[in-house]
Amino acid sequence: THSSSARGIFIKGGRVVNEDCSAIADVYIENGKIVEVGMGLQIPAGTRVIDATDKLVMPGGIDTHTHMELAFMGTKAVDDFHIGTKAALAGGTTMILDFVIPQKGKSLLEAYNCWRETADPKVCCDYSLHVAVTWWSDKVKKEMEILTKEKGVNSFKMFMAYKDVFMLSDSELYAAFSQCKQIGAIAQVHAENGDLIAEGAKKMLALGITGPEGHELCRPEEVEAEATQRAITIAHAVNCPLYVVHVMSKSAAKVVSNARRDGRVVFGEPIAAGLGTDGTHYWDKEWAHAAGFVMGPPLRPDPSTPGYLMDLLANDDLSVTGTDNCTFCVCQKALGKDDFTKIPNGVNGVEDRMSVIWEKGVHSGKMDENRFVAVTSSNAAKIFNFYPQKGRIAKNSDADVVIWDPKLTRKISAKTHHQAVDYNIFEGMVCHGVPVITISRGKVVYEAGELKVSPGHGKFIHRKPFSEFVYKRIKQREQVSQAPYASTPESSIPAFKQCASW
């Protein structure tokens, strides 16, 4: 009952890895979906057979955080939706979540439509969109509702940094988080104190510190940790689930971890850059090298940071991984040659995230292959509400699959990567764990080092609000905390305290 052109794919004898278990099994794919998973399946006629003996068959990676072709800090990111998603596929990632970032005062819906028009014809893998709330008004509030009800968006990013550009005040964060909770969305924060960054930057420049090291010195760890704690406090006040994007420091990671131990519904997202390298590069004598690592929040000079973040990722204090892929060539970085505040912020990662996490996480023995799947795809699918459509190798799931050779190694280099950017922050890193075949929407799109995919192959993935993984607890807390609160105030006080949800 399928057209003759829709040839199936039979992945034979691999080790199928999901977030909860692994088993040797065959996987049969047809019409973009996984049709069957099991031992010794029959091979239908006309099917392409891929021998996956001694290889892992895993859900394709989901990068929770990219900024393809973002216009930012006076220039535009060079990885566009075409090149960026192709690079993703070459690295075993089959879906990205990018950000719509409207200017202050501008319509969220118009910005969303514009980003869809830009991305839809170019993407080579599936994608979805978070939307940033960069200002506040009744119109913004209404548009958030429309985006969740009609446009497939269930996550909104609020900036606590980039003063006068994207930053919101605490009262605006309160309003935005309240609305997220009302409409069943996840509040995301860029957690850094924007006022302190502005003051710190002035101070550094006054001291004559104009190089990339000034970028880190003007916004040390506690600037990130303070904002992280403040966001958690505000989210808790309105019983809203919180997702902290790009957790870059030990201090901020500890804040997230402690909040989770206090029972808060909060998720932390480290990124490939923070797990794979550190901020010592800001002190490199070669300006271009140092500037290449500039991003916000900065990578940290404490060299124990990447290993620490990986430990927390391994034990579920941190939940998912993105990349914040937002790439600027060396010539673009040079906008800040004489003033670090003008260096366009952003680094690469979309192509190398899977290999970096395999190397630093799995090869090192910190996490097993199942946790690898959890932090590279399935947790993202659960939080952002498209599980098990993606993030799982199972019957009826989308055929987004990576065939992984854990024994092969590759050396990361700008000379061989597929991204448009002219350097790579992981240059020279040797990684065990190589994606040998990537399948997107049931088609082999990357094989033997070759990409075979055209722009528009990927599709926009609509996400519904009230993700159960996030909202079941939120809803229950709402109920148990409201019942006593609504009755006699005196008798409600102990119960109210016990519930402790606000």
**Contact positions vs ligand URP (CB under 6 A):** 67, 190, 295-296, 324, 326, 345-346
What does 217 bind: ligand URP, Zn ion, none (CB cut-off 5 to 8 Å by kind)? none
CB 123 within 8 A of CB 455: yes
Helices 489-499 and 468-486 meet at what angle, rounded to 10? 160
Q: Which CB, 345 or 481, lies closer to ligand URP?
A: 345
Closest residue to bound ligand URP by CB: 345
The entry of ligand URP, Zn ion, none near residue 130 (CB within 5 to 8 angstroms by kind) is none
Instruction: Indicate the residue among 345 and 467 with the shorter CB distance to ligand URP.
Output: 345
Measured from the CB atom, the residue of 57 and 218 that comes closer to ligand URP is 218
Instruction: For residue 265, give the nearest of 82, 100, 406, 474 by alpha carbon.
Output: 474
Q: Which does 300 bind (CB under 5 to 8 A by kind): Zn ion, ligand URP, none?
A: none
Minimum distance from residue 488 beta carbon to ligand URP (Å): 47
Structure tokens at 442: 């049931």
Minimum CB–partner distance for residue 231 and ligand URP (Å): 14
Residue 246: CB minimum distance to Zn ion, A: 6
- The 10 Å Cβ neighbour count of residue 210 is 16
Helix (H) or strand (E) holding 402: strand 401-411
Is the CB of 184 or the CB of 346 nearer to ligand URP?
346
Q: Answer with the entry of Zn ion, ligand URP, none that 14 interacts with (C-beta below 5 to 8 A by kind).
A: none
- Burial zone of 1 (CB within 10 Å; 0-12 exposed, 13-18 middle, 19+ buried): exposed
Nearer to ligand URP, 296 or 442 (CB): 296
Chain centre to alpha carbon of residue 181: 21
Please identify, using beta-carbon distances, which residue of 92 and 296 lies nearer to ligand URP: 296
Nearer to Zn ion by Cβ, of 323 and 377: the residue is 323
Q: Which one of Zn ion, ligand URP, none interacts with residue 392, CB within 5 to 8 A by kind?
A: none
346 binds, among ligand URP, Zn ion, none (CB under 5 to 8 A by kind): ligand URP
CB of 106 to ligand URP, least distance (A): 17
Q: Considering beta carbons, is residue 226 or 324 the nearer one to ligand URP?
A: 324
Least CB distance from residue 245 to Zn ion, whole Å? 6
Residues that bind Zn ion (CB under 5 A): 190, 281, 284, 324
Which spans in 207-239 are helix H?
213-217, 221-237
CB of 244 to Zn ion, least distance (A): 10
DSSP secondary structure letter of residue 502: -
The least CB distance from residue 246 to ligand URP, in Å, is 6
- The nearest distance, CB 412 to ligand URP, in angstroms, is 20
CB 255 within 8 A of CB 228: yes
Closer to Zn ion at the Cβ: 11 or 168?
168
Q: DSSP characters for 57-111?
A: EEEPEEEEEE-TT-EETTEE-S--HHHHHHHHHHTTEEEEEEEE-PPTTS-HHHH
Considering the complex, state which of residue 27 and residue 232 has its C-beta at the smaller distance from Zn ion.
232
284 binds, among Zn ion, ligand URP, none (CB under 5 to 8 A by kind): Zn ion
Least distance to Zn ion, CB of residue 413, Å: 14
* Contact partner at residue 278 from ligand URP, Zn ion, none, CB < 5 to 8 Å by partner kind: none
3-class DSSP assignment, residue 489: helix
Q: How many residues does the chain have?
A: 502
- Give CB contacts under 8 A, 24+ apart, made by 341-345: 341/201, 341/205, 341/214, 341/215, 342/73, 342/74, 343/73, 343/212, 343/215, 343/291, 343/294, 344/72, 344/73, 344/74, 344/75, 344/294, 345/72, 345/73, 345/294, 345/295, 345/296
Minimum CB separation of residue 65 from Zn ion in Å reads 6
Helical axes 108-119 vs 138-150, angle rounded to 10°: 40
Q: How many angstroms separate the CA atoms of 62 and 19, rounded?
A: 13
- Report how far residue 195's alpha carbon sits from residue 206's, in angstroms, rounded to the nearest whole number: 17
Query: Which of Zn ion, ligand URP, none sits in contact with 281, Cβ below 5 to 8 A by type?
Result: Zn ion
- The count of C-alpha atoms lying within 13 angstroms of the C-alpha of 101, restricted to the half-sphere facing its C-beta, is 21
269 binds, among Zn ion, ligand URP, none (CB under 5 to 8 A by kind): none
